[in-house]
């Protein structure tokens, strides 16, 4: 007998669509919906996908940016190769990883995206705090590599620390939004924080 989570997954609309349309993850549709609402990625952009493995967001980033785009996928875990995507294995908290990226694109990047999640413990206050910690690291990374006018999107577990994090993002961007894509499960506490038009500043 199939395990309950497997049966639930097989009934999931976006899981089935991802299989049919050859995306590596159902999360691909979250980025598609974020981009549709906020015009996050433009043709020809240089894009960095944090915590990229298995590559669903990198696939969509490349699709939206087109053949003239540059997509860099960063993760601690290995990721199967993707056409048009450069994989960098490393920890975004390591300054050497930032330095390596900027050696490849010294002019900076147009978009930083992150669908990173902490390992789930089941204790929500702890998981929320760990999610915010990852979001902080993603924001710090973004402020180091984004060009003026660049965009940012990061997944956050909603909770009592969320308001403060959104306020910190707003210090660096002309527009800040929170969004729950349709592809996110209705029971999920995840929200995406969107920063548009980076105007610089030190994290």
Active site residue 155: yes
| 146-157 and 190-198 beta bridge pairing | antiparallel
Q: Which residue has the tokens 């960095």?
A: 48
Is residue 82 within 8 Å of 73, Cβ to Cβ? Answer: yes
User: Which residues of the chain have a pLDDT value below 50?
Assistant: 1-7
> Per-residue pLDDT tens for 77-129?
999 999 999 999 999 989 999 999 999 999 999 999 999 999 999 999 999 99
Tell me the pTM.
Answer: 0.92
pLDDT at 185: 87
pLDDT at 9: 53
Instruction: Say which of 3, 19, 155, 163 is annotated catalytic.
Output: 155
pLDDT at 11: 65
Domains located in the chain, CATH noted: 27-198 (3.40.50.150)
pLDDT at 144: 94
Backbone angles phi, psi at 43, to 5 degrees: -60, 130
| CA 121 remoteness from chain centre | 21
């Amino acid at each position: 007998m199939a395990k309950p989570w497997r049966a639930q997954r097989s009934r999931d609309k976006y899981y089935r669509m991802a299989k049919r349309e050859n995306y590596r993850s159902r999360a691909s549709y979250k980025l598609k919906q974020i981009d549709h609402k906020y015009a996050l990625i433009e043709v020809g952009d240089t894009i960095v996908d944090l915590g990229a493995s298995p590559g669903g967001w990198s696939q969509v980033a490349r699709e939206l940016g087109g053949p003239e785009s540059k997509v860099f996928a960063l993760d601690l875990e290995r990721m199967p190769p993707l056409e048009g995507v450069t994989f960098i294995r490393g920890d975004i908290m390591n300054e050497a990883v930032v330095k390596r990226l900027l050696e490849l694109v010294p002019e900076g990047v147009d978009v930083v995206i992150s669908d990173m999640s902490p390992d789930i413990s089941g204790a929500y206050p702890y998981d929320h705090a760990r999610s915010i910690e990852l979001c902080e690291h993603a924001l710090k990374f973004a402020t180091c590599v984004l060009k003026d006018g660049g965009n940012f999107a990061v997944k956050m577990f909603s909770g009592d620390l969320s308001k403060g994090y959104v306020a910190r993002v707003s210090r660096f961007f002309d527009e800040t939004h929170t969004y729950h894509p349709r592809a996110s499960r209705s029971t999920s506490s995840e929200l995406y924080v969107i920063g548009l038009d980076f105007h610089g500043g030190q994290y």
